[in-house]
Amino acid sequence: MKRTGTSLPAGWDETMVRDVIAHYDSQTEDEAVVEDQAAFADDTYTVMLIPCDLVPAVQALLSESARPIPNP
pLDDT in tens, 3-39: 566 788 788 899 999 999 999 999 999 999 999 898 8
Main-chain phi, psi angles of 25, to 5 degrees: -65, -30
For residue 56, pLDDT over 90 is answered with yes
CA distance 11 to 3: 20
pLDDT at position 63: 85
